[in-house]
Copies of this chain bind each other. A is one copy, B any other.
Amino acid sequence: MTHQAFDLSSFLPYRLAVLAERVSRRLAAEYQALHGLSIAEWRVMVHLLHSDEVSIRDICDYANLDKPKASRAVKRLEKDGLVEKRSGAKDGRLVAISLTNAGRRVIYEILPAAKAVEANLLGALQLEEQRALARTMEKLHSALDLDPAAKPRTLASQGPKTP
């Protein structure tokens, strides 16, 4: 009997962190095996997949990366020939990043494996549970939005279906 009860294993922030880390590592095994990509690099590639001509800032907003991480991920991807980086056409500060053909090939190669990992997770849930989970995560985000001590949400933290 302890003076003040507190069990890490039932503490929500801890449980979230542990689950997310386990899932992330499982997923990372896929794209590391395929092309030695890091999490940041994977996110950059995915973002490029559906919006061409992207700036570092866009990547930060969309893929929940800080500026140095995004910058370094892009640098490495460029070195490996998976993305192309030109100087911004209109605004000289921005860089215009886009997938090369090789990059497109790589990301299309990884995508099915990534989807399979997600499908395996979702397969453990009923459809209604999947929706409930999405709603619940959104509510937790909303609670943080109201908390001035929490970091503001980036664009990509927002749910997919909120217009």
Contacts and interface: CB of A to CB of B under 8 A. Distances in A.
Interface residues of A, number: 71
Interface stretch (A67-75, A78-86, A131-139): A131-139
Tell me what chain A mostly uses at the interface: helix, strand, loop, or mixed. helix
Interface in A51-96: 62-64
Given A156-B8, A158-B9, A140 B121 contact: yes
A35 interface: no
B150 A2 contact: no
A149 B129 CA distance: 25
Nearest to A11: B118
Nearest to A62: B8
26 contacts: A5-B50, A8-B63, A9-B62, A9-B156, A9-B158, A9-B160, A10-B161, A12-B23, A12-B122, A13-B114, A13-B117, A14-B43, A16-B24, A17-B20, A17-B23, A17-B24, A17-B64, A18-B156, A21-B64, A22-B144, A22-B150, A23-B140, A26-B151, A121-B140, A121-B143, A133-B136
